[in-house]
């Protein structure tokens, strides 16, 4: 019996870079890793292309840039002999955006989820404004026009709470600030999208059941100096995701990992030069409950049955 794992994540969350580094690690045998490659399914030329880009510090092409490519790596635990398959579906991160915004997904994806025992879910540490509070967002808003209501400097929309009663919808719209942005689904923050995707798995058309979930915080090198571990980072930067996972233990048993598959920022020439002196597999950093190392297969080991 072979355990099957599915890879999920929003656009630019690090899925393809992880696959490139994972392929290099299990194919090169540069370091001791818990899982070794048994066989693969997919386009070998594509795997070699992204691995070469990763090795030479080139930007790894995203799935949406190379077309739809299914990849499945069949792996074996060196210690227990248990087999597993890590499935990277032919879904660009934008496909998951469509699931959130338009509430649509491919029937093939529903079937893939139904056959998978665990999930690697990627979240980028480069979240920027996604973690700002309402107060912080308000402080970043541009100043309102001087010709506000009454010319007092008060926000033009402030009187609406008292004077909008009795006005038609059109009249209310006419007195809104000219630069007001109408909300639309694409403005949904990343952590809300993550929670929506995970909560979708708890209801039809997906088959609700208990799953192991490895949350992969990619670009972990960006967090250096923060003093936060992966669990603390998730609780601090994406509290909605953290709270969802903590309150849905009946659906998800989760662990949080920090992973720097690339090792450095590609626009940092000095860091790239230093990293180029290392064996490629040793510039990988993965931080989890078992400590820090270079073995990208460790989250997959946790997802596997005991044997």
Concatenating the DSSP letter of every residue in 78-92 gives TTT--EEEEEE-S--
Of the candidates 301, 186, 255, 221, the one whose C-alpha atom is nearest the C-alpha of residue 17 is: 221
Distance between CA atoms of residues 102 and 214, nearest Å: 26
% of the chain with per-residue pLDDT over 70: 79
Distance between CA atoms of residues 122 and 118, nearest Å: 13
Of the candidates 265, 190, 269, the one whose C-alpha atom is nearest the C-alpha of residue 221 is: 265
State the span(s) of the chain assigned CATH 3.40.50.300: 2-131+195-303
Q: How far is CA 163 from CA 141, 158, 160, 298, in A?
A: 24, 9, 5, 60
CATH class of this structure's domain 2-131+195-303: alpha beta
For tokens 């694409």, name the residue. 186
What are the beta bridge partners of residue 75? 37, 84
Of the candidates 156, 191, 159, 195, the one whose C-alpha atom is nearest the C-alpha of residue 176 is: 156
- Supply the DSSP symbol for 41: E
Whether a cis peptide bond, with omega within 30° of 0, leads into 205 is yes
- Supply the DSSP symbol for 144: P
Residue 156: pLDDT above 50? Answer: no
**pLDDT attached to residue 305:** 74
pTM of the model: 0.81
Residue scoring higher pLDDT (13 or 157): 13
What are the beta bridge partners of residue 215? 121, 256
How would residue 163 be classed by pLDDT, with cut points 50, 70 and 90? very low
Helix 44-55 to helix 15-28 angle (10° resolution) is 100
Q: How far is CA 18 from CA 36, 102, 113, 297, in A?
A: 16, 28, 20, 10
- Supply the DSSP symbol for 124: E
Distance between CA atoms of residues 283 and 30, nearest Å: 12
SS3 category, 255: strand
How would residue 48 be classed by pLDDT, with cut points 50, 70 and 90? very high
Convert the pLDDT of each residue in 274-303 to its tens digit: 989 999 999 999 999 989 999 999 999 999
Q: Which residues of 253-285 are buried (b: 16+ CB within 10 A; e: fewer)?
A: ebbbbbbbbbbbeeeeeebbeebeeeebbebbb
CA neighbours within 13 Å on the CB side: how many for 165?
3
């Amino acid at each position: 019996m072979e355990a099957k794992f599915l890879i999920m994540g929003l656009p630019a969350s690090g899925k393809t870079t992880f696959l490139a580094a994972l392929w290099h690690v299990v194919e090169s045998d540069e370091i001791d890793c818990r899982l070794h490659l048994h066989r693969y399914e997919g386009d070998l030329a594509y795997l070699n292309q992204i691995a070469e880009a990763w090795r030479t510090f080139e930007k790894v092409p995203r799935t949406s840039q190379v077309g739809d490519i299914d990849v499945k790596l069949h792996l074996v635990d060196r210690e227990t002999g248990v087999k597993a398959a890590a499935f990277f579906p032919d879904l660009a991160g934008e496909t998951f955006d469509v699931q959130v915004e338009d509430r649509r997904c491919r029937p093939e994806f529903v079937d893939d989820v139904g056959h998978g025992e665990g999930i690697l879910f990627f979240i980028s540490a480069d979240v920027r404004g996604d973690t700002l509070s309402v107060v912080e967002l308000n402080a970043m808003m541009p100043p309102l026009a001087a010709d506000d209501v009454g010319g007092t400097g008060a926000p033009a929309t402030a009187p609406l709470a008292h004077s909008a009663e009795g006005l038609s919808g059109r009249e209310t719209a006419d007195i809104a600030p000219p630069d007001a942005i109408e909300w639309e689904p694409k403005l949904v923050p990343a952590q809300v999208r993550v929670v929506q995707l995970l909560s979708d798995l708890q209801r039809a058309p997906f088959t609700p059941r208990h799953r192991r979930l490895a949350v992969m915080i990619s670009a972990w090198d960006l967090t250096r100096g923060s003093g936060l571990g992966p669990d603390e980072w998730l609780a601090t930067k994406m509290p909605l995701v953290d709270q969802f996972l903590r309150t849905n233990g009946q659906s998800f048993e989760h662990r949080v990992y920090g992973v720097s598959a690339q090792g450095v920022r590609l626009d940092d020439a000095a860091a790239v030069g230093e990293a180029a002196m290392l064996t490629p597999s040793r510039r990988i950093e993965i931080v989890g409950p078992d400590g820090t190392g270079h073995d990208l297969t460790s989250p997959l080991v946790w997802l596997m049955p005991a044997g």
